[in-house]
Amino acid sequence: MSDAVYDVLIIGGGPGGYVSAIRSAQLGFKTALVEREHLGGICLNWGCIPTKALLRSAEIFHFANHAKDYGLTLNGSMSVNVADVVKRSRGVSQQLNGGVAFLMKKNKVDVIWGEAKITKVGEVSVGKSTKPVVEPQNPIPKGVLGDGVYKAKHIIVATGARPRVLPGIEPDKNLIWTYFEAMVPKTMPKSLIVMGSGAIGIEFASFYRTMGADVTVVEVMNQILPVEDAEIAALARKSFEKQGIKILSGAKVLGVKKGVDSVTATIQDEKGATTEITADRLISAVGVVGNIENLGLEALGVKTDRGCVVTDGLGHTNIAGIYAIGDVAGPPMLAHKAEHEGVICIEGIKGLHVHPMDKLKIPGCTYCHPQVASVGLTEAKAKEQGYTTKVGRFSFIGNGKAIALGEPEGMVKTLFDAKTGKLLGAHMIGAEVTELIQGYVVAMTLETTEEDLIHTVFPHPTLSEMMHESVLDAYGRVIHV
Amino acid sequence: MSVNVLMPALSPTMEKGNLSKWLKKEGDTIKSGDVLAEIETDKATMEVEAVDEGILAKIVVPAGSNDVPVNQLIAIIAAEGEDVSKVGTGSAPVAAAAAAAAPAAATLAPAAAAPVAAAHAPQTVSGSKVFASPLAKRIAKDGGLDLSRVTGSGPHGRIVERDVRAALAGGVSAPAPKASAAPVAAPAAAPAPAISDDQTRKLFTPGSFDEIPHDGMRKTIARRLTEARQTVPQFYLTMDCEIDALLKLREQINASAPKDKEGKVSWKVSVNDMVIKALALALVRVPDANVTWTETAMLKHHHADVGVAVALPGNGLITPIIRHADTVTLSGIALAMKDFAARAKSRKLKPEEYQGGTTAVSNLGMFGIKDFTAVINPPHSTILAVGAGEQRPVVKNGALAIATVMSVTLSCDHRAVDGALGAELIAAIKVLIENPMSLLV
């Protein structure tokens, strides 16, 4: 407890919150961060990071199962030790969790442990968390401040989001899973239904399939990975189906019946016909909703819309002195979007020159196998907006490095405004594309035209050369096809 | 040890100036306090005085050099006894190129209010490179837009797509942030005209006009007043004031002015001087109107500093400021205005004499103008436009009468002064003008 008034107090220690706190401290503000459960938020503890660890184990398992292709022989076969796979993933989270605590200390940000409620503009009351703790949890960091009333000139809500719950299909921590349970399986399910084919659903589908489970993905839209470009989504679907993942699109889960150690879902297709599918477990991955409850927002009159706080492009809510950033402030629900929104909000408070983020320059990555990554407009959206486009495509099969790696599956697609040469969108599927996409994002941020990309020297032999070839293809001068 | 003479910053916002004249030549002995050179800024001509003593060893920037950046080396003074010929440029500090605050409104506005003007210097003129993204360059080229006329809102003042799109859409200044009605950072950059200079020239028969390059003052007037018109939501309130009593009082005051040995009066109070005082006192009576708008807060001033528009011969304009005008006597105002006007005409006003202020008066009455609306000069929230006092028919007690009437129009910045408040202020001005004895207390 302290009598001091903070310049900035941030509620929520996820990527949006802790990055804002660091930037705030860098700009000389007296800063506090309130966290009730885990520094690093969902991203670090139950999202982005642990899934990448799990997927890495799956990737190595996949390579091991194809060792012969590379002239390698395994005496016997590789097996999955679920507990150890999960342990590694939790270990990675724990390490990074400690890392955030270190960063808070280094930047002299006061960490207040507890659940915050904004009692009035400029004042926050911190008490015991009302949220049930998800195990395993890391220990509370040292040196945190405790319950009490804290004053701050600027309060930033960065409380993130939680899984959306469909009525009748409520997660029960046993048979019906959210990403929380899917992250720490005790045993490998033999079969799995994944409801929802966004990034979260597809990543878990990919992980569990690679680890040997029988996976069925149910998606209500006609396209899996609905936000991606249709052509890329179609290639992804083909690849998943080749891997043995069953995909039901245009399909809705009407309800579930729980067995002793299994769950049966009733699924309705577009024509109205229903089927029943039984699996060991069902993962509900139908989106997330902002954590706007128990913050005191209603009493203060802070405007919310469909579970998210309404903000202008700079993090301001309708109440002066109260801001919101990250997942709680609406889509896209991405950690890097939260980080940048947080920085923009802080810099705006400082009086620096800021602009809202350009949503068309925020990349999205899905770490399934093959990976998917994209930025900007899809071909359909570009057409909708009236652009005449030049489209370039380059398949992995034409790239030397891809063949040498044994990763011939994939494509790089680029979209240009025919009139100005503006790069409107880039869509990629294949090995390592989540690491490659940044090249296009940097180019878009610098407002490239096709000419600049054509003149850029990409190194050989790399997968990134395909980024060059795709642009050449858009302008009718592709080389390696 | 030789001393480097650098281009001085003659005001907090000055970025460059014209070195018009050297008053000493190489080889001259320099004493502390000697005037070395004359620097011309956008508003006035200033003298550069020597701080150190020695011999003027080398003139680095010759007379007549324009756009010399602040802190650039202009001359070297060698110490007494030093070999003048051996003096090099030494450790001359790097010339501070135009990265800092653009010559914006006076320094009263805090950072929050002037994020754009402060963070993005407009593209420097006179042949320097224009920084624009590749896409912006191409869009500008395709649209026939002259990039040197566009102010960039990107990193380091770079011109980006939104800037050229806004310029092509017809000189609209603020590239509005896309997804929101963000109040804070809408950049109020200098707008690009819809047609370029070349296209403008092409509209006239070659040879049918002369081309007179703009001096600093003209460029500044164009930029600041365009910016004011585009960023300040202005509204106008007009009132007619009967000034017979005021004119009578003025006569009495001037008749009682002390005379010197030759019978010349020490001071002469004008109608405008009295209007200045009335405006200042009105702001004291209506302090909520004595404010300046900033994005984060309203600045409520403790004093009424009144800027007074002075026309300069040859088409120029400057507004010297009577500080704490509410506390200055009428004769004090008259004397200050006389001095300001003289020095304004010879371009010898110091920056602190014309920068800032909380309000202004502009008087075109001497030209017979009945009434007009003046443009607000940021950081002021108001400006009073004064017309000619003329005999007009008026109605008194239901009957036609004749009175000397002067129309005054108050322009208000609606962000800071709402209608009712503006009305209260102009009503207070009218009461003071029509009861002129109140100007004496």
Mean pLDDT on B324-344: 93
Summarised one tens digit per residue, pLDDT across range A67-113 is 999 999 999 889 999 999 999 999 999 999 999 999 999 999 999 99
Summarised one tens digit per residue, pLDDT across range A117-147 is 999 999 999 999 998 888 888 889 999 999 9
What are the distances in angstroms from CA B385 to CA A408, B227, B349, B361, B412?
Answer: 77, 19, 23, 6, 11
By CB atoms closer than 10 A (0-12, 13-18, 19+), residue A361 is middle
By CB atoms closer than 10 A (0-12, 13-18, 19+), residue B205 is exposed
Residue A454 is predicted with a pLDDT of 97
Are residues A298 and A401 located together in one domain of the fold? no
Are residues A312 and A240 located together in one domain of the fold? no
Are residues A337 and A387 located together in one domain of the fold? no
Mean pLDDT on B90-110: 36
Give yes or no for residue B33 having a pLDDT over 80: no
Catalytic residue at B303?
no
CB proximity B186 to A under 8 Å: no
Summarised one tens digit per residue, pLDDT across range A389-431 is 999 999 999 999 999 999 999 999 999 999 999 999 999 999 9
- Both structure tokens of A203: 């990543």
- Identify the CATH assignment for B233-440 out of 3.90.50.10, 3.30.559.10, 3.40.50.300, 3.40.50.720: 3.30.559.10
Cβ partners under 8 Å of residue A434, min gap 6: A365, A366, A367, A371, A372, A373
Distance in Å, alpha carbon of A374 to nearest chain B alpha carbon: 21
Residue B83 is predicted with a pLDDT of 67
- Residues of A near B (CB-CB distance < 8 A)? 311-314, 316, 348, 351-356, 358-359, 419-422, 446-449, 451-452
Of the candidates A356, A448, A452, which has its C-beta nearest B179's C-beta?
A356
Name the domain boundary from A284, A303, A329.
A284
Quote the DSSP letter at residue B259. B
Most B-contacting residue of A303, A312, A347, A355 (CB-CB within 10 A), to test interface:
A355
Mean pLDDT on B213-238: 87
For residue A89, which phi and psi values (nearest 5 degrees)? -60, -45
Q: Which CATH superfamily is domain B115-211 in?
A: E3-binding domain (4.10.320.10)
Of B272, B278, B355, B267, nearest to B43 by C-alpha is B355
- B182 CA to centre of own chain: 29
Are residues A113 and A36 located together in one domain of the fold? yes
- Choose, from A316, A340, A460, A468, the residue flagged as catalytic: A460
Give yes or no for residue B402 having a pLDDT over 90: yes
Mean pLDDT on A336-347: 98
Residue A223 is predicted with a pLDDT of 98
Fill in the amino acid letter for B123: Q
Report the CATH number that the domain containing residue A12 is assigned in CATH.
3.50.50.60
CB pair distance less than 8 Å for A449 and B138? yes
Q: Helix (H, G, I), strand (E, B), or coil: what is residue B72? A: coil
Mean pLDDT on B47-52: 79
Mean pLDDT on A278-300: 97
Torsion of CA A218, A222, A226, A229, to 10 degrees: 140
- Would you say residue A342 lies in a domain? yes
CB pair distance less than 8 Å for B187 and A353? yes
For residue B406, which phi and psi values (nearest 5 degrees)? -125, 125
Residue B85 is predicted with a pLDDT of 62
With beta carbons less than 8 A apart as the criterion, state whether B109 and B49 touch. no
Domain that holds residue A314: 5-48+84-163+288-359
For residue B16, which phi and psi values (nearest 5 degrees)? -155, 165
Domain boundaries, chain B: 3-86, 115-211, 233-440
Instruction: Tell me what the pLDDT averaged over chain A comes to.
Output: 96
* Predicted TM-score of the model (pTM): 0.61
Are residues A125 and A20 located together in one domain of the fold? yes
Q: What is the CATH number of domain B3-86?
A: 2.40.50.100
Name the domain boundary from A268, A284, A300.
A284
Residue B1 is predicted with a pLDDT of 65
B123 vs B40, residue with greater confidence:
B40
Please give the ipTM for the structure prediction: 0.77
Are residues A196 and A88 located together in one domain of the fold? no
- How sure is the predictor about B13, in pLDDT bands with cuts at 50, 70 and 90? low
With beta carbons less than 8 A apart as the criterion, state whether B20 and B64 touch. yes
Mean pLDDT on B114-134: 55
Of the candidates A314, A353, A449, which has its C-beta nearest B134's C-beta?
A449
Quote the DSSP letter at residue A394. E
Report the CATH number that the domain containing residue A445 is assigned in CATH.
3.30.390.30
Instruction: Tell me what the pLDDT averaged over chain B comes to.
Output: 81
Range of weakest confidence among A197-206, B113-122, B148-157: B113-122
